[in-house]
Amino acid sequence: MRVHDVSEATETIEAAPAKINLALHVTGQRADGYHLLETLVTFTVAGDVIRIRDADADSFSISGPFGDLLRAGDGGDNLVTRARDLLRDALVSTGQPARPVAIHLEKSLPVASGIGGGSADAAATLRGLLRHWHAGIDPQRLASLALTLGADVPMCLESRSLIARGIGEDIEPISDLPALFLVLANPLKAVSTPEIFRRLQNKANPPLPERKTGGWMDFLAQSRNDLQPPAQALLPEIGEIAGMLSQEDAGLVRMSGSGATCFGIFHSFEAAQKAETSLRERHPGWYFQATRTI
């Protein structure tokens, strides 16, 4: 199932769903330093939103609970404006117009939190602009463009359940992963992805297990996130937040990506909502969000 989006005459709205690494195995490292991964990824209803309108000149603005953590204004090293500029260059090179746009980001996901916030925003910008500009681009070229923005952007461009290999560019869609009810939890302390990989002692770990007849939960129980131990050593709150999710009777608790967001899988959305309420009462200054997968 693809991301739902809405287009209006004056505005294009594109969802930027949170990316959840249900499992993440680090299987090697290339000569250029990039790490090789095998990861089972899904996406949630919770996420950011990109809004695009025609304008006299390009502009970029941000709102939302985590908007103040990002630098508003056009240009710089923002993935949204980089995605806009790269796509425009690609389209203009094929003779397609790409008029100026005002892009607004509603930032609801924590920053640098292991759930693909910036990558999801960049991918949503690419999807949204293609619709807004009524433009087309070769899928392979679009995938290559996405990869130049970051290893997670091709996955977020898909925004559906998948297994990704390599550095994230080798994508295998998954059609039978059931809907999952999650609580996302983050202590609102960022961790450095390069530092987590630097602390990872073994860079050549076993790949994802073979999926057998037991189903996806058995598959998940046999898998892991190889980045969780070094991340937890760097930020002890990750262990604390994982323990809190377990105390709320989550069926499986794990860190996503390089952290610091952890997720708990619950048997129903109502159970996830109840756990979110309980967790917020215990730590009102942390991020908790009950959601479901797309």
The first and second tokens of residue 23, run together, are 């499992």
What is the rounded CA–CA span in Å between residue 150 and residue 177? Answer: 25
User: Measuring CA to CA, how many Å separate 15 from each of 88, 112, 143, 189?
Assistant: 20, 19, 18, 25
Radius of gyration from C-alpha coordinates of the chain: 19
Q: How many CA atoms lie within 13 A of 70 on its CB side?
A: 30
- The catalytic residue among 19, 48, 107, 121 is 19
Q: How many CA atoms lie within 13 A of 39 on its CB side?
A: 31
Per-residue pLDDT at 67? 78
CB atoms within 10 A of CB 211: 16
User: Count of H helices and E strands in the chain?
Assistant: 9, 11
What is the rounded CA–CA span in Å between residue 78 and residue 124? Answer: 14
Question: Crossing angle, helix 79-92 and helix 139-149, to 10 degrees?
Answer: 150
Active site residue 274: no
CA-CA-CA-CA torsion sign (4, 41, 193, 148): negative
Contact 259, 228 (CB under 8 A): yes
Per-residue pLDDT at 190? 85
Q: In this model, does residue 9 exceed pLDDT 70?
A: no
What is the rounded CA–CA span in Å between residue 183 and residue 110? Answer: 14
Per-residue pLDDT at 266? 98
Task: Give the residues across from 287 on adjacent strands.
Answer: 186
Per-residue pLDDT at 77? 56
Contact 263, 184 (CB under 8 A): yes
CB atoms within 10 A of CB 33: 8
Over residues 159-203, the pLDDT tens digits come to: 999 999 999 999 999 999 999 999 999 999 988 999 999 999 999
- The catalytic residue among 48, 121, 152, 226 is 152
Contact 14, 49 (CB under 8 A): yes
What pTM was computed for the model? 0.91
Contact 260, 191 (CB under 8 A): yes
Q: In this model, does residue 100 exceed pLDDT 70?
A: yes
Q: Which of 219, 167, 160 has its CA nearest to residue 193?
A: 167
Tell me the percentage of the chain whose pLDDT exceeds 90: 84
Q: In this model, does residue 69 exceed pLDDT 70?
A: no
- Tell me whether residue 262 is exposed, middle or buried, using C-beta atoms within 10 angstroms of its C-beta: 0 to 12, 13 to 18, 19 or more: buried
Over residues 204-249, the pLDDT tens digits come to: 999 999 887 678 999 999 999 999 999 999 999 999 999 999 999 9
Active site residue 58: no
Q: Which position has the token pair 């991301």?
A: 3
Per-residue pLDDT at 208? 96
